[in-house]
A and B are shown apart, each in its own frame.
Chain A
C-alpha cells in the first residue's frame, strides 16, 4: 500500500479551503489552482480531502500493482 497526495487541477476552483485548513501549511493557491508548497511536509492526513468541495484533492491509496 502506497499513499500519495493527488491534485486534480482540472476540477480545482481555487477556493483555498484545503490550504487554509492544512495542519502543515503544505498547500498554496496560485492562479486559482492549488498546489503543493515547496519546502513543506505533507503528512497525508487527508484533512484537505474532507473539505474540498470539488473533489480535486485526495490521498490516494493505490496498491503497488496499481489497482485501487
Chain B
C-alpha cells in the first residue's frame, strides 16, 4: 500500500485508513449506500488518484448532482457542492471559469450524467473545459428504486422496464468522445489500481476528461436482473474484462456484456479557461 502524505492533516481520531481520514469526512459515516454498492469503491479510487497527484485538498473541488452517486460530495473532505439533478457539470463549469486554480472533479451517476444532464455533458466535452467527470455507472436509478437508465442494456429489466428494456443503451465514454472529449477512459470497481491510474491521468489531462466507471448495484440492478450478489457482480467484471486496446479490435457483437477497462482517447486541444484568459489579457494587464 502506498503511504499517504499526512502532512498538515489532523491526527486520526477514528478507526480509518490514512487515505480515508485525509480525504473523507468520517463524522458523516457509515455512508448511506447499500451493502455491496460500488459507489464507495469509486469514491476511494478518486481519493487515491488525488493523493497520488498530491493535490491540495483546499484546491480540490468536488461537484455532484442528484442520485445515489451524488451523495459522494458530502462524504469527501474538500470543497464540495451537491447540486441539482443533472446539473453538476453546469455548476462545475461556473466554478472552473471563476477560479481555474481549482481542480474540479464531477462525481455523477449514469442517469445524472447521460439522461437529465446529457446536454451539459456533451457541451462540456465540446468546450474542452478542465473538468474531470467520473461516472459511477451502475446502469440503474438507485435512489428512486430501480428504474432503467440510459445505460441499462437493451433487454434487461427495471421497475419501469417490467417487460424488458426496449431502449438502446448509451456507451457514455463513446458519447463523450463523439462530443469532442479530449480524454476518455473506462474503469471498473473490480479493477481498482487500473481505474485509479485512469482517473489520475484524467485529472492531469489539460482539458475535459471523463472516466466511465462500471459500477455495481446489487440491490436494484442485481436483483431485477438476477445478477446475484455484489460479489457475483464483481466476479463478473473480473471474468469479462477486456483491455481497451483489445476492445478496439473487437466487433460490437463480441463486446456485448464485456467490461472494457483502459484509455479510449487522449488528445491535445486548447483548454477553455486558458483560451478565455487570453481574451482578458488583451484588456487587463496582470489580471488573474
Contacts and interface: CB of A to CB of B under 8 A. Distances in A.
Would A and B touch once assembled, by the CB under 8 A criterion?
A: yes
Interface in A2-61: 6, 8, 10-11, 13-17, 20-21, 32, 46, 49-56, 58-61
Contacts of B17: 6, 49, 55, 58-60
A22 B275 CA distance: 49
Contacts of B3: 61
Interface in B220-234: 229-231, 234
Nearest to B6: A68
A14 to B, nearest CB: 6
Given A8-B15, A68-B6, A68-B12, A53 B40 contact: yes
A51 B238 CA distance: 13
Contacts of A6: 15, 17
B134 to A, nearest CB: 15
A16 B229 contact: yes
Given A59-B1, A60-B17, A50 B193 contact: yes
B31 A54 contact: yes
A50 B218 CA distance: 18
B18 interface: yes
Contact of B30 (A13, A49, A51, A67): A13
A20 B20 contact: no
B234 A11 contact: no
Contacts of B192: 50-51
Interface string B1-33: 101001000011001111011001000011101
Given A20-B235, A51-B41, A61-B3, A15 B12 contact: no
Contacts of B36: 13, 15-17, 53
Contacts of B234: 17, 20-21, 51
Contact of B1 (A17, A20, A46): A46
B20 A55 contact: yes
Contacts of A16: 36, 229-231
B37 interface: yes
A53 B1 contact: no
Contact of B41 (A13, A20, A53, A59): A53
Nearest to A58: B17
Interface in B189-220: 189-190, 192-193, 218
14 contacts: A6-B15, A10-B30, A17-B231, A21-B234, A51-B41, A51-B189, A53-B189, A54-B29, A54-B30, A55-B29, A58-B17, A58-B20, A59-B1, A68-B12
Interface of B: 1, 3, 6, 11-12, 15-18, 20-21, 24, 29-31, 33-41, 44, 189-190, 192-193, 218, 229-231, 234-235
The 7 closest A-B pairs by CB, nearest first: A53-B40, A15-B36, A13-B35, A58-B17, A20-B231, A50-B192, A15-B35
